[in-house]
Amino acid sequence: MSWNNLLFECSEDGIAVLTVNRPPKLNALNGETIGELDEAVARVATDDSIRGLIITGAGEKAFVAGADIQELAVAGALAAKNLALRGQSVFRKIENLRKPVIAAVNGFALGGGLELAMACAIRIASGNAKMGQSEVKLGIPAGYGGTQRLPRLVGRGRALEMLLTGDPIDAQEALRIGLVNRVTEQAGLLDAARELMRKILANAPLACALTLEAVDIGLNSGLEEGLRFEAAAFGLAAATDDKREGTAAFLEKRKPNFTGK
């Protein structure tokens, strides 16, 4: 499957790399690109050969610089609401993937670009990254989940400062406040993302999937519901071949050979 605005490749180790590819527009998200992202995420969700996903942007200037302002400028109230709902839906699908997703943030991640990065499980930024929710400078609030995910990641006060001023922050500040997990050199960004993904994929696939789900349920439904799901997930995993292999490998002082069963 090929797309006009996305590049997609999957290596033999099960790591897929999805690149938003609109360099002349700084990889801005227009309606067509959002639709293609939806299709790509569906492929990742259903293709068992894909075990983890890295999302990045083409070129060195931008991850995703935001929404396509030309489309946004002509959108009326109903069209704008539908645009927000569509983007929210796609980003939620990324967040709900039972496979790890890493954002490799190379350059500008503004507006919808930061919202895309925040929908990923983990964020790695290059040293030249600039991240912000700049929508208020356009006369609108964030629409693809920024008002919800940013406070969950960095806290209410810091999130509101970014959301209300619209000012971007650099990679080191993003690291300091917990918006990104790591900062690396531009040239080594994808290598760092792949290295981290390989470390994750060395673990039991079902255990990782249940961990992703448990964290999401706890954050969205509260501590009690999260604890109930965690206990159920713990019990479910205890019946798997991977649990038997993992515990045996530990006791035998060898590397486990997980099969995802």
Question: C-alpha dihedral over 85, 90, 92, 97, to 10 degrees?
Answer: 160
246 and 165, same domain (yes or no) = no
Evaluate if residue 1 carries a pLDDT over 70. Answer: no
The total number of structural domains in the chain stands at 2
Indicate which CATH number applies to the domain containing 225.
1.10.12
Question: Residues 38-62: what's their mean pLDDT?
Answer: 96
257 domain-assigned: no
Residue 135 designated active-site = yes
Residue 115 designated active-site = yes
225 and 181, same domain (yes or no) = no
Mean pLDDT of the chain: 95
Helix (H, G, I), strand (E, B) or coil at 162: helix
Among residues 12, 115, 230, 245, which one is catalytic?
A: 115
Query: What is the pLDDT, as a whole number, of residue 252?
Result: 93
Indicate which CATH number applies to the domain containing 114.
3.90.226.10
Among residues 12, 60, 135, 252, which one is catalytic?
A: 135
CA distance 38 to 130: 25
Q: What is the token pair recorded at 115?
A: 């919202």
Contact 100, 200 (CB under 8 A): yes
100 and 124, same domain (yes or no) = yes
CA distance 118 to 131: 11
pLDDT tens sequence across 158-190: 999 999 999 999 999 999 999 999 999 999 999
DSSP state letters, 76-133: -HHHHHHHHHHHHHHHHHHHH-SS-EEEEE-SEEETHHHHHHHHSSEEEEETT-EEE-
Backbone angles phi, psi at 120, to 5 degrees: -80, 155
Q: What is the token pair recorded at 138?
A: 């356009």
Question: The pTM is what?
Answer: 0.94
28 and 65, same domain (yes or no) = yes
123 and 37, same domain (yes or no) = yes
Look at residues 201, 227, 243 and tell me which one is the last residue of a structural domain.
Answer: 201
Domain that holds residue 232: 205-251
pLDDT tens sequence across 190-239: 999 999 999 999 999 999 999 999 999 999 999 999 999 999 999 999 99
37 and 54, same domain (yes or no) = yes
21 and 130, same domain (yes or no) = yes
